[in-house]
A = this chain, B = another copy of it.
Amino acid sequence: MNQVSPPKPIRLGMVGGGNDAFIGAVHRIASRIDDHYRLMAGALSSTPEKSRQSGVAIGLPRIYDDFKQMAIREARRKDGVEAVSIVTPNHMHYPVAREFLKRGIHVICDKPLTSTLADAKKLAKLAEESSALFILTHNYTGYPMVRQARQMVQAGEIGPIRVVQVEYPQDWLTEAQDFKQAEWRTDPARSGLGGSTGDIGTHAFNLASFITGLEVESLAADLQAFVPGRQVDDNAHVMLRFEGGAKGMLWSSQVAPGNENALRIRVYGEKGGLEWAQEDPNYLWHSPLGEPKRLITRNGAGAGESAARVSRIPPGHPEGYLEGFANIYTEAARAIVSARDGTPLPDDLLFPTVQDGLKGVQFVSACVKSSNKNSAWVRLQH
C-alpha cells in the first residue's frame, strides 16, 4: 500500500447518507479505512429534522439542515471541509455538486453522475472549470484485481482485444418492492430514465472501458421492465461495438434470482483471456492461449505492481467491497493532498472522473434511445 503520510487528515463533509441509506455508511467506512479523512460536517437527509437525527447518531461535529447552507458556511470557515461526499439519490447529484464545486470544495460523488443527460453535461462542464477535484465512485475500479486486469491488457498480455462480455445481474427487484432503496431507484424522477442500466449497468459499462482501455462506439439495446407497473428497466440486453473493432455484450438485470451482486467481466484477446467476478474479487483468471489457465491472486505470485499498490494484506486474506471502495477514497486523498500542497498529481493515480460519469449517463441515454427504436444501433457521443 502506497501510503499518503497523514499529518493533517482531510476534513470531509457528506450530503445524503442518513439513517436508512446503505451507501452513505459505505462511504464513511471507506473514508476511514486508510485514515486519510475526518468527517466533520454533513447534511445527511432531505429534511432538517432527519438530518439532525442522522448526524447525531453518527456523532457528526457540524450538522446542517440543508446542503446549500452547508456549502456556504463551510466555505467560509477556515477549518471548513476540504471535500464533500455526495451520496444522495441521483437527481440531487448535480445541484449538490454545483454548490460545492463553485466554492472550490472537492467533490466525491456516487454514481451515476446525474439522473439526466442535460445535468451530466452541465456538471461535467462545471467540474472541468472548477479548481476543485471531482471523483466519481465507480468503486469497482478500486478492486486490486481489476487494476491487475487493466495492467495486463495494457502490457499486451492478452493481445489485441476482440470480445468483451460484461454482466451485472442482481435479484433484489425480482418482485415489486416499496422500501426506500428500491423506491427511489425505480422512480424515473429521482433515478433517471434508466433503471438497472443506470444503477448497475453504468458500473458494468465503466468497468469494461476501465479494464480494456477501449471506448464503446455504439450500442444496440433491448430494455424491459418485467415487474408490472415498474417505470424503468429492470433488465437490459445490450450489444456493444468498441472503437477499433472489438465486440461485446452487456447484461444488467435486477430480476435474476440467485444473483446477489454478480458483476462479472470476461475479456478475450488474440493471445489470451481474462475473467474477474466481483463476488470473488481476490482472484483473476488468466488464460494464455495454448497454456493452462492461471489463477492470479491479490498480492500473490503473478500479481503486479498496480494491484499490490492498492492491497493491504497478504494473499489468502480476502479483501472485499469496502477495501475496494476505500481505494477510491485513498486515491482521492492522494489527489486532494497534492492539490492542497500544490504538487502535481502522482503519475500512477487512478480514479473515475466526471468524464467517466458523463459517459455513463450517455450510456443510459443511448440504451433508452436504442430500445425505443427497436434496438437500432446508437452511437455514443464522445
Residues of A within 8 A of B (CB): 3, 5-7, 22, 25-26, 28-29, 32-35, 57-59, 158, 162-163, 165, 167, 170-172, 174-175, 220, 222, 224, 226, 235, 237, 239, 241, 247-249, 251, 253, 255-262, 266, 268-273, 275, 278-282, 285-297, 300-302, 312-323, 374-375, 377
Contacts and interface: CB of A to CB of B under 8 A. Distances in A.
Contacts of A29: 33-34, 312
A288 B22 contact: no
A322 B241 CA distance: 38
A377 B370 CA distance: 13
Contact of A293 (B271, B294, B317): B294
A220 B293 CA distance: 33
Given A220-B222, A257-B271, A317 B320 contact: yes
B258 A241 contact: no
B291 A301 contact: yes
Work out how many copies of this chain go into the complex: 4
Contacts of A318: 278-281, 318, 320-321
A35 B33 contact: no
B241 A222 contact: yes
Contacts of A266: 256
B315 A163 contact: no
A221 to B, nearest CB: 9
Contacts of A175: 270, 289
Contacts of A259: 273, 287, 316
A220 B315 CA distance: 31
Contact of A315 (B235, B260, B285, B320): B260
B235 A258 contact: no
B247 A162 contact: no
